Amino acid sequence: MNIGRLITFEGGEGAGKSTQARLLADALEPHTGEVVRTREPGGTHSAEAVRRLLVEGDTGRWQPVTEVLLHYAARSEHVHDLIRPALSRGAWIVCDRFADSTLAYQGYGLGVDHQLIAEIDRLVLQGLCPDLTFVLDLPAELGLARATRRAGGEERYESMPLGLHQRLRNGFLEIAAAHPDRCVVIDATADPESVHREIWDATAKRFGLPV
């Protein structure tokens, strides 16, 4: 029986998560069969509707705890409708952001109690955890400079103060340090091809795939 795997990408704005998720998904498919690439918040029709509430509009439109609840509302739909069914049929999932982002942004960044987030996580995910997480790390200033060059109307988090982005960068690094069995920190200041090679080497080593 095929065993499904969940691989997640985390990091601040402009770290290149979407690009690296796409590159890894393309590289995995010849070796693993079905690969599902998805994102959070979003990934399903209902979760994408919640996404728009979170990534558009004024920076202060929600209380921080409300943001946590909205993220987990979207995550609950995503997990129920896409992630668990895909894992059950043996698919590999590559996800641009997952639960670590909520702890980093709303916990470390906006000051929501970490134990409260952990309790909500326990209730919603019921033990579901990524098999491997890549934390793409770069200075907040560089990430924001990269992010401002992107088109689109999803700039709510990018518009938040630099201090928040510095706190969430530290948060991601603390999360990675607390879960060394799951998290791999990648220097995202390098060019995309070099970053992808490092990600593929770590993935191949973890799951016994060809280097």
pLDDT in tens, 37-48: 999 999 999 999
Look up the pTM and report it: 0.95
Domain membership of residue 42 as a residue range: 5-207
Q: What is the pLDDT of residue 152?
A: 62
Q: ω into residue 130 within 30 of 0, thus cis?
A: no
Give the mean pLDDT of 193-197: 98
Say if CB 149 and CB 16 are below 8 A apart.
Answer: no
Strands 183-187 and 35-39: unpaired
How many CA atoms lie within 13 Å of 131's alpha carbon, on the beta-carbon side?
17
Give the mean pLDDT of 38-60: 95
Structural domain count, the chain? 1
132: confidence class by pLDDT, cuts 50, 70, 90: very high
Say if CB 26 and CB 203 are below 8 A apart.
Answer: no
The 10s digit of each residue's pLDDT in 12-24 is: 999 999 999 999 9
SS (H, E, C) 123-191: HHHCCCCCCEEEEEECCHHHHHHHHCCCCCCCCCCCCCCHHHHHHHHHHHHHHHHHCCCCEEEEECCCC
The closest alpha carbon to 200, from 211, 191, 208, 192, belongs to: 211
How many CA atoms lie within 13 Å of 35's alpha carbon, on the beta-carbon side?
18
Give the mean pLDDT of 71-81: 98
The closest alpha carbon to 55, from 44, 46, 42, 45, belongs to: 42
Give the mean pLDDT of 133-139: 97
What phi and psi values does residue 128 have, to the nearest 5 degrees? -65, 130
Say if CB 202 and CB 211 are below 8 A apart.
Answer: no
CATH number of 137's domain: 3.40.50.300
Residue reference for tokens 């000051």: 111
Q: What is the pLDDT of residue 150?
A: 64
